[in-house]
Structure 1
C-alpha cells in the first residue's frame, strides 16, 4: 500500500515542468516541506520504499534526498532514516515577509456583518479549567471506572449500527433513560418520543432558531442572560428584546410584537442565580399560549441544589405546555462529552428530529448507549448525590472567604443556594472586565458580569466565580490572588 508521502509526490509531480525525474521528486518534496505538508522532524519513507511506490529507480529518489540534505531541508541519521529539518533555510530569510503576507491576506477577507460582530465580541474562553471558571464541573471525579467498563464491554463486539450514522434524535436507550430521569428528578412530562439528543445546549438553541424563527422575528432573552443564547440569536438575525431580571421575577419587554421564542432559566437564573416565582411562571405560560410563542427553558444545572425543596421544571406545570425544555450532561458529567437533550412538545418532535438528522448528521450512538447504561445502572444518580455534597462544601468555603475578606455587600442577594457558581458583586463604576483580565494574569479565571448584558444601560458590575472545578485546598489561595486584583482595581478597603 502506498504511503501518504508517495501520494503527495505524485500529485505535485503532475504539475511540474519538463525536467529530470530526480529534479521533479526533489521539487515536490521541497515544496511540501516549505508549505508544511511535511511537518518538521517528520520521518520520510526509506528511499527504496518510496522508489517502489513511485515506480522509479532507487537512485532517482536517493539523488533527490541527497540534494535536500545538501540544502538543509532534511537530515539523515544512520540506522534511523531521513527526517525533515526542524528549521528550513527559508525561515532565516523570510520570517518577516511571510508574517506581513499573512496579515495582508487576513485583512483582505470579507466576513458577513454578523460574523464581524461575533468575532469582535467573542466570549468563549481559551482556558476552560481552574479556579474560578464558572459553569465547569469537577471532571476529575467523574465515575470513569464504571463508564470505561461499560465502553470496554461494548467495544468487544460492536454492532455495525453503533458505528455508522444515526437517525431518530439519539439512541433509543438513551432517550428512554433521559425521559425516566427527568420524570422523577425534574417533574418533566415526557416520553422517549419527545426526547431529542443534541451535541450540547448550543446545538439545541441553534435548531430551535432554525425551525421556529425567521430573520427579523422577535426573540426575548433574560437580561443579564447566557451569552451562548445571544451569540446564536445574533447569527440568526433575530431581533433581541431583553427581559430585565429583578429579584425573583423577570420584567417582560414591550409587547407590541409577540416573540417567536422566549429564552428563560427559571429554576436557577443564569448568571444571577435567582428563581422565577411560580406566579411569574404561570403568567409566562399563559402569555406564550395566547401569543403563539414558544418558551425555551434551559435547565442547565438544576440537579445541584444544596438546601430547600427541589424546584420542578416549568415544562411540567401543565399538560402540553408550550415549552421546549433543554438540558445537558456537561454540568453533571463533563463538558467534552458533548451530549445535551431537548424535550419537545409533541407538535414539534417529529419535525425537529427530521431537521436535526439533515442539518447535523447524527452520530455518537456508541457514546449514547454507554451513557444510557451508566444511568440505568444507577451510577449517574449516585454521582449527582456525591457531587452535591462536594459542591455545597466548596460553595460554603468561597462564601466564607467573601464574607471575611470583603463583606456581605459583595454577595448578590438574588443568588439561590444552588448551581456551580456565584456572583461577586462589585461597586458601581468598577471595570469588571479589567479585573477579570488582571486575575487571569495571576492564574485565576473569572467572567465579568457586564458581558452578560445585551444592552449597556443599567449594567451591573461583578464577577462570576465558579467553585465546582476548584479543589478545596485551592479555593483560598485563588481567592486571595483575586483579592489582590480587587484591591488594586476596585474601590474596596484592603
Structure 2
C-alpha cells in the first residue's frame, strides 16, 4: 500500500515543461521542497524511509537518498538515527513562504456574489460564536448530563452494532426512540400521538425548514410571533415566504379579545409559528381563548400551526401548561420539541409530532432531503429514556434551575428594582428578561458586557419592526451559583456606564 507521501510525489512528478531534462533526483528534490514550503508536508511530519519511498515510486534507492541528502543539507529536513527523516520545524524560506501566503491572501477578491437572501442572512447573523457562560440564554448546564450512564449504553451498542445502525435510515428515526418520545409526550405534555406520527429531526431549525418546504410555496404568507425566536426568521428569510407579525398577547389584552394583535387583511397564513406554553423570548403563556381561536382560524383557512414547545419541561411553580396540540383530536398542529434544552445542544436530536395526514409525506421528504442517520445515538437515547434516566435528569435540573433563577431574580430586584423584571415573565424556562428604560441601547450594552466576558442577548434583536422593547435576555441555567453574582456585578457596571453617557 502506498503512503500518502508517495501519492503526493507521484502526482507532482507528472510531466512538466520546467522539469524537462532534469535529473530524476532533482525532480524528486523539487517536488518535496515545494510540498514542504506550501504546507502539504507540515513541520515535524515524517518522510517515508528511503527504501519504502523508492519501492512505492518505482525509483532507485540512490535517487531517493540523493534527494533526501540535498534537502537535509539545505535545512528543509533533519534525520535522527534510528527514528527517520522529518520535516524541519523552520525552513530557510519560512519568511518567503509567509510572504507568499500574504500575497495569496491579497489576491483573494474582497467580495463574492451571494444570493440576495444569503447576503441579508450573513449581514445580520444571529448565531453567537460563544455558547457557554454567564448569561448565555437558552443553554442548559451541560456539565450535569448523565454522561457516564449514557456512555455505557453507547459503548455496549458499539461493541456489536447491526448494519441497520450504521447505514442510512429511513422511516423518521429509530423506532425505539420514536416510541419513547411518543410515550413521554403523552404523559408529560398531554400530546395526542403515537409513534407513527413522530419524526426525529436534527433540531428545530430542520423542523422549520421541512415544514416550509412541504407546506408553503415561495411568497405564501406565514405568521410569526412578534417578538419571536430569531431562528424562525432566519429560516423563513431563506425560504422566501411573506412574513406577517403576530403580536404577542400582553397582560392588557382582554380575555374576550383573543384575536388582539392578529395580522389584518392579506392572504390567509399557510403556517402560524407560535411558542404558546412559554413564549420566546418574553416568557408569557398564551391564553386558552387565544389558543382555541388560532386553532379555529387554522382550520378555517386550511393552514397549520407550528407549536414550538422548546423548554416546557422547566416550569418551577404552578400547574404544568398542556400542549396546544392536545386541546382537540386531530388538531392542525405540528408539535415540535428538542433534547437541546433538557440534555445538551450538541446532541442535535429533536422531534416533530405530525398530524396523521402529514406523517407519511413528511417522512419521505425528510429521508430524501436530509439523509437520516445517527441511529446509534438515537438507539442509546431511547434506552436512556426507557430506563428512567431522562425523567430523573429533568427532575434534578428543575430543582437546580429554580434555585439559580431565584438567585438572579433576587439580584435584579435588590440592585435595580422589581420594575426591571419583565412583567410577562412566567416562573419557567432557562432565562429572564431584564427590562431596560426607554432610550437605552440594549445592543450596545450587550456588546460592552461581552467585552467583559458576560454574554447576553439584546431583546430588540427579536423584533422585526421599529418600536421594539429594550432589554437583555439573561440565561441562568448554564451558570454556577457562585458565578451568578460576580457576573451580574459586571453587567451592573455596564448598565451604569450606559446611563452615564
TM range (shorter): over 0.9
Equivalent-residue separation in structure 2 for 1:88 and 1:122 (angstroms): 41
2:30 paired residue among 8, 27, 31: 27
Structure 2 residue 200 is matched with structure 1 residue 191 = no
Give ranges in structure 1 of 5+ residues lacking alignment: none
Q: CA deviation at 1:451?
A: 1.2
**1:174 aligned partner:** 177
Q: State TM-score, norm by structure 1.
A: 0.95
Of 208-217 and 265-274, more deviation after overlay is shown by: 208-217
Please tell me whether the aligned partners of residues 42 and 83 of structure 1 are also in contact (alpha carbons under 8 angstroms).
Answer: yes
Equivalent-residue separation in structure 1 for 2:377 and 2:95 (angstroms): 48
Q: CA deviation at 1:445?
A: 1.0
Paired residue total: 491
1:291 paired residue among 295, 301, 305: 301
Please tell me whether the aligned partners of residues 114 and 234 of structure 1 are also in contact (alpha carbons under 8 angstroms).
Answer: yes
Give ranges in structure 2 of 5+ residues lacking alignment: 254-259
Structure 2 residue 86 is matched with structure 1 residue 83 = yes
1:76 to 1:461, Cα distance in 2 relative to 1, 3 A = farther
Q: CA deviation at 1:47?
A: 2.6
Per-residue CA deviation, residues 20-41 of structure 1 (Å, 9 max, x unaligned), is 3233333333333344333333
Equivalent-residue separation in structure 1 for 2:475 and 2:106 (angstroms): 37
1:428 to 1:90, Cα distance in 2 relative to 1, 3 A = farther
Q: CA deviation at 1:395?
A: 0.3
**1:474 aligned partner:** 483
Structure 2 residue 342 is matched with structure 1 residue 342 = no
Equivalent-residue separation in structure 2 for 1:242 and 1:390 (angstroms): 35
Structure 2 residue 125 is matched with structure 1 residue 116 = no
1:454 paired residue among 441, 448, 464: 464
**1:204 aligned partner:** 207
Equivalent-residue separation in structure 2 for 1:397 and 1:64 (angstroms): 69
1:483 paired residue among 492, 496, 501: 492
1:347 to 1:401, Cα distance in 2 relative to 1, 3 A = same
1:86 to 1:403, Cα distance in 2 relative to 1, 3 A = farther
1:378 paired residue among 388, 396, 402: 388
Equivalent-residue separation in structure 1 for 2:15 and 2:305 (angstroms): 58
1:188 to 1:78, Cα distance in 2 relative to 1, 3 A = same
1:381 to 1:210, Cα distance in 2 relative to 1, 3 A = same
**1:391 aligned partner:** 401
Of 416-425 and 19-28, more deviation after overlay is shown by: 19-28
Q: How does 1:427-442 map to 2 (within 5 A)?
A: 427-442=437-452
**1:407 aligned partner:** 417
Please tell me whether the aligned partners of residues 427 and 491 of structure 1 are also in contact (alpha carbons under 8 angstroms).
Answer: no
Of 181-190 and 439-448, more deviation after overlay is shown by: 439-448
**1:273 aligned partner:** 283
Q: State TM-score, norm by structure 2.
A: 0.94
Equivalent-residue separation in structure 2 for 1:97 and 1:253 (angstroms): 58
Equivalent-residue separation in structure 2 for 1:153 and 1:309 (angstroms): 39
**1:139 aligned partner:** 142
Partner SS, residue 109 of structure 1: coil
Equivalent-residue separation in structure 2 for 1:161 and 1:71 (angstroms): 55
1:259 paired residue among 257, 269, 283: 269
Structure 2 residue 163 is matched with structure 1 residue 160 = yes
**2:256 aligned partner:** none
